[in-house]
Chains A and B, each alone.
Chain A
């Protein structure tokens, strides 16, 4: 137990360092990229007006002072007020978070539910027509850019077949196309990885032993093979959550989905420092938490990697 706690403590310390580094990099890069004030005011705004707005936003202070204020506020969970929306950044981001989580989680569930059985089936039926077809589709899925696939879905499934709405957020009808688009890459890569992990496992000695014991093929595959193949599958699947968040920027734009990806891109254009800092910070937290969960899950699944 103590070793688990020590492990957690060490990981937590590392997480804090990562968060500090990420915040600092975003802080510096955003300020290097330009001044938000000319974007806020009409082009004929007088210079005095620009100075006034700069002072109001605290952008007239020296950079180290701005940085100290930023770090102090971040420690209290305060990311400042959005320059564009003039509301607390956290409130603005929270308003968009639901849509992104809804889309990302649906895409993730679709991906996991489809990809693992496809990969498994493909491995068990290795070198059959089924294997070739599914892996060819997976390859195309992995290679197709999100925006292209999204537009294709809109044109074929929404416009031509008239089955689903073209864009916007609403009920599950609206969710399906963007989730499939967003999940396509994940489905493809998880399916391919599942296939190779299962194949590797199927060739292992313990599978031969299991078969020699007279176990049915179903038990051999589900109990002995899949569990041993689980580590790489879980790793890649969890890492795909990052891809889902990253890919969400394009998917959200194509499907006019009101999520944080679009917010973040727009905020970068607007030089809305607080929003960008908040989104990046939350994304970093998400990654850290997922990685931690995966590490802990390793321990549950495989006694050999448990800290001693």
Chain B
């Protein structure tokens, strides 16, 4: 059976049965909007695969690992950096960063947290023997010292203005040196111990993980006694479990279910994704090596229509390669234009000879990937491009990504890991990066200079010029910056984090109780 048919049927089923059900449930419970629950259950689309935070970067895992563990620095849902296990940090020399660590913090097994843990933890990420999945995160670090129990000094190879931001995201979760060394990585993954607001209790694969509140958490005990993480892969049952009140929050709510969930006792909370959905371009393949052709492709996409029809308005049209919300995002730049006439002229000027242009799309790897690819192909045909969409399976995409063997364009959802263009455009498009299909000497010079400059004014100017170069060459054709929506019971006061972390600490989670 094809995914589309099945999806349509599911939609139909939900529309038929769900509408009245929601109405009834709504009438019964809408008045209260409070709860007596001491437990928060959330359902996500896939199961946890790893508890060891250095062995996964998947969103299903970091929702849990950012709560079992603390980072030295934390990024709040508002996008700002706040103290975590480090209470303050300063630059003591151009390449030396000194962190003051929080005192009195204990691991879930009672051991004290010290700078030795922090040093071990960061070094473990790039230790070849540890074989972690986050080995490249701290590539700017030269060496680390722990002069006393509450001080950590990090020396970088070059000035690194984004070190604190790096420490705040994946790879930066601090793991217990003594415990991990004594039990080994397998036992640690099976029985993880952190300093975070929740402690591990049990995990039944593909069913649920049970975590309990850490009563001695340095940031205060969270507002519930237990946190249950469930995995419900299908969308309709996931929504049903929310509407029946079996879970309090669901993740990955598709835009076409927005109205159904944002009614009665449940509501939709969205965060503008910290990143973009782009059609990445293999700019080595003619005619995609021709900037005029790529400009035409960008001008040929009616992004407003895609946002309106396929996303029900749950997204914004990008204005360049920098995600809205990031450092150096230029709000004054206009959204990427749709101008079919101009597009046709540029195709003519670029001497486009009707060569086939292929989008290799996945079906379901990104929300709306296949429908968007089909829409874009139709729009490109309208401007006279011989375009075609080919569906590839996710693992084939992964392989092509590794071999850099895409035939033309392909979907990518670059995440802004640092809240800064360095952690997105430069990380992916820079020389040797995973999407290095196009080189431009000035772009490269600016990107390298911005990475190791602590002068934010200079960095801002560099990214502005890089954006201009980007908009002439389109190594990515940005399409949308979508909202990531969650279904939430109205008695839960909680704000989603744009970086996909699922923040349950006191400052971000409150259950409204009668």
Contacts and interface: CB of A to CB of B under 8 A. Distances in A.
Interface of A: 33-36, 38-46, 49-50, 52-53, 56, 84-87, 92, 95-96, 99, 145, 147-148, 150-152, 154-156, 158-160, 162, 165-169, 253-259, 262-263, 266, 269-271
Contacts of A151: 10, 13-14, 234, 236-237
Contacts of B136: 42, 44-46
11 contacts: A34-B399, A35-B402, A38-B398, A44-B434, A45-B135, A85-B49, A99-B207, A152-B17, A154-B240, A159-B25, A253-B234
A227 B347 CA distance: 78
A155 B395 contact: no
A154 B401 contact: no
A168 B42 CA distance: 13
Contact of A160 (B17, B49, B399, B434): B17
A96 B263 CA distance: 37
A165 to B, nearest CB: 6
B473 interface: no
A154 B428 contact: no
A46 to B, nearest CB: 7
Given A34-B395, A145-B1, A262-B206, A43 B17 contact: no
A38 B402 contact: yes
Nearest to A147: B6
A152 B21 CA distance: 12
Given A33-B395, A39-B398, A45-B136, A167 B237 contact: yes
Contacts of B18: 155, 159
Interface in B1-46: 1, 6, 9-10, 13-14, 16-18, 20-21, 24-25, 43
Interface stretch (B87-95, B225-233, B331-339, B497-505): B225-233
Contacts of A258: 204-207
Nearest to A149: B13
Q: Which of A43, A150, A152 neighbours the largest number of chain B CB atoms within 10 Å of its CB?
A: A43
Contacts of B207: 99, 168-169, 256-258
Given A155-B21, A253-B234, A52 B131 contact: yes
B166 interface: no
Q: Which of B24, B206, B243, B401 neighbours the largest number of chain A CB atoms within 10 Å of its CB?
A: B206
Interface of B: 1, 6, 9-10, 13-14, 16-18, 20-21, 24-25, 43, 49, 57, 128, 131, 133-136, 186, 204-208, 230-234, 236-237, 240-241, 243-244, 246, 394-396, 398-399, 401-402, 427-428, 432-434
A46 B205 CA distance: 30
A107 to B, nearest CB: 18
Contacts of A52: 128, 131
A39 B397 CA distance: 9
B428 A271 contact: no
Contacts of A147: 6, 9-10, 234
| 8 closest cross-chain pairs (CB), A and B | A155-B17, A258-B206, A258-B207, A38-B398, A256-B232, A38-B402, A159-B21, A44-B434
Given A46-B136, A147-B9, A159-B244, 18 more contacts: A35-B402, A39-B398, A42-B134, A56-B131, A86-B186, A96-B206, A147-B234, A155-B17, A155-B21, A159-B243, A168-B232, A256-B43, A256-B233, A257-B207, A258-B204, A263-B206, A266-B206, A270-B395
A156 B25 CA distance: 13
B395 A271 contact: yes
B241 A166 contact: yes
B493 to A, nearest CB: 24
Contacts of B241: 166-168
A220 B206 CA distance: 50
Contact of B49 (A38, A84, A257): A84
A84 B133 CA distance: 12
A152 B18 CA distance: 10
A176 to B, nearest CB: 15
A37 to B, nearest CB: 8
Contacts of A95: 205
Contacts of B427: 44
B5 to A, nearest CB: 10
Contacts of B25: 159
A167 B232 contact: yes
Q: Which of A34, A38, A41, A145 neighbours the largest number of chain B CB atoms within 10 Å of its CB?
A: A38
B205 A256 contact: no
Contacts of A257: 207
Contacts of B9: 147-148
A50 B133 CA distance: 11
Given A43-B401, A168-B208, A256 B231 contact: yes
B166 to A, nearest CB: 14
B237 A169 contact: no
Contacts of B16: 155
B237 A256 contact: yes
A253 B237 CA distance: 9
Nearest to B430: A44
Given A155-B21, A168-B230, A49 B135 contact: yes
A40 B56 CA distance: 9
A99 B432 CA distance: 46
Contacts of B433: 44
Contact of B17 (A86, A156, A269): A156
A36 B291 CA distance: 35
Given A151-B237, A166-B240, A168-B207, A43 B6 contact: no
Nearest to A92: B205
Q: Which of B10, B241, B246, B432 neighbours the largest number of chain A CB atoms within 10 Å of its CB?
A: B241
